[in-house]
Structure 1
Amino acid sequence: MATTMDRRRLLSTAVLGGAGIAGATALGSLAPEAAFAAEPVKIEPGAPDPNFAEGRVTSITGSVVLLAGSDGALHRIQVTNGTSIWKFQPTTFDRLEKGDGMYVRGVRLPDGTLAADSLWANIVNLTAHIASVGRNVLHLDHHGKRLIGHVVPGTTAAVYNGTPAISDVSLLKVGGHVQVIGAWHPDTNEISIATVYAAN
């Protein structure tokens, strides 16, 4: 694992136009679960993590993304040729859109810009109960709100009782409690399911 100084040097080089930078996946996992993992950063209790940003995209200009954070902060994100991007699956910068929700991890530059090493678009991590099961769809109850979870053949994985992930979701049961990691369809109550964790 690269040290924080290695990441800062690599990402700074990318921002300044350096060629041949290693992909950010060499610096950390792009798996959707990694978006919610806390990095070992020494910060004061209650202070924001300087190497993390979240919010909705308000504009994309060149390789700079502006995010309006849920806390009211405005974040300037520099995407580089070393940034790894996830939007339900690993993807490219041109797939990002205004209105997408994002989690970003990277390195804060002196001007306050966050140079992104990993960026997750529209990612959700929620717990729910299965209200009903249809063909390639789970109707979920999340704190009293109904969500539609789309099972994507060939991509969606299920983990039962901590066993290795498999593509078979047929063991999911109505009334079952699940944790779902997936991608939100902005401004809807629908998500595409990347991984569903169930205790059967």
Structure 2
Amino acid sequence: MTENLDRRRLLTSAVVGSAALAGATALGSLAPEAAFAAGEQAIEPGAPDPNFAEGRITGISAGMLFVTGSDTALWRIRITGGTSIWKLRPTTFEQVAVGDGLYARGLRLPDGTLAADSVWVNIVNVHAHIAAIGRNLLHLDHKGKRIVGHLVPGTSAARYNNTPAVSDMSMLRVGKHVQVIGAWVPDTNEVQIATVYANA
């Protein structure tokens, strides 16, 4: 609890006292899996989490992301010097673009903006079967729809049977079920793969 309060105090001071934008500090985990984790506070069942936002970026201005949520909620998300940004890998505010999708966690401020602690851009979490394997490609079947997964040298990794992540993809097999966390290429059926989870 003390850690949570300290993080909120630091994040609030970053919003109030800093004009610096971008950066990627260690305020919480930026691991892509953290985007799908439960929030730090207990939320009433069925109630929205006031410190979480998701949607597509419709505008960017002076360190602020304007986002339309999938439920048509409109968000103003403030990026500060303490915001960590993930877009396939840890990155900077300059790499975020209009049309990108995002998840963001942070602190809801009195003016309604969300001071972002962590932002995950274009992140997807897909359960699928491998339909085909090509050079640096995985063709995935997700509920009858085809997804093209791009293996990114130096970035993509596989975890077999919950072992540590490795760059070796040789144990992936056609027909096997996998979970893929990666970065969606907006308005396509393509994903850049961060991690593939599979049973060897």
TM interval, shorter chain, is: over 0.9
SS, match of residue 34 in structure 1 = helix
Q: Deviations over 1:120-149 (max 9, x none)?
A: 000000100000000000000011100000
Whole-angstrom CA distance in 2 between matches of 1:194 and 1:113: 30
C-alpha displacement of 1:119: 0.3
SS, match of residue 107 in structure 2 = strand
Is 2:101 aligned against 1:120? no
Q: Name 2:10's counterpart in structure 1.
A: 10
Q: Name 1:141's counterpart in structure 2.
A: 141
Q: Name 1:69's counterpart in structure 2.
A: 69
Whole-angstrom CA distance in 2 between matches of 1:64 and 1:40: 24
Whole-angstrom CA distance in 1 between matches of 2:145 and 2:162: 27
Whole-angstrom CA distance in 1 between matches of 2:176 and 2:156: 18
How many residue pairs get matched?
A: 198
C-alpha displacement of 1:53: 0.3
User: Residues 81, 25 of structure 1: CA spacing in aligned structure 2 closer, same or farther, 3 A cutoff?
Assistant: closer
Is 2:107 aligned against 1:107? yes
Whole-angstrom CA distance in 2 between matches of 1:34 and 1:2: 20
One-letter amino acid of the counterpart of residue 46, structure 1? G
SS, match of residue 162 in structure 1 = coil
Matches within 5 A, 1:51-70: 51-70=51-70
Confirm or deny: 8 A CA contact 2:51 2:108 kept in the other structure: yes
Whole-angstrom CA distance in 2 between matches of 1:25 and 1:49: 23
User: Residues 53, 2 of structure 1: CA spacing in aligned structure 2 closer, same or farther, 3 A cutoff?
Assistant: farther
Q: CA RMSD in A?
A: 1.6
Q: Name 2:169's counterpart in structure 1.
A: 169
Whole-angstrom CA distance in 2 between matches of 1:162 and 1:57: 34
One-letter amino acid of the counterpart of residue 71, structure 2? D
C-alpha displacement of 1:153: 1.2
Q: Name 1:48's counterpart in structure 2.
A: 48
One-letter amino acid of the counterpart of residue 65, structure 2? V
C-alpha displacement of 1:112: 1.1
Q: Deviations over 1:61-116 (max 9, x none)?
A: 11010110001100110000110101111110011000000000101111111000
Whole-angstrom CA distance in 1 between matches of 2:2 and 2:88: 25
C-alpha displacement of 1:6: 1.7
Whole-angstrom CA distance in 2 between matches of 1:119 and 1:18: 18
Matches within 5 A, 1:77-92: 77-92=77-92
Whole-angstrom CA distance in 1 between matches of 2:40 and 2:97: 30
Q: Which runs of 5+ in 1 are unaligned?
A: none
Whole-angstrom CA distance in 2 between matches of 1:5 and 1:70: 30
Confirm or deny: 8 A CA contact 2:24 2:90 kept in the other structure: no
Confirm or deny: 8 A CA contact 2:157 2:166 kept in the other structure: yes
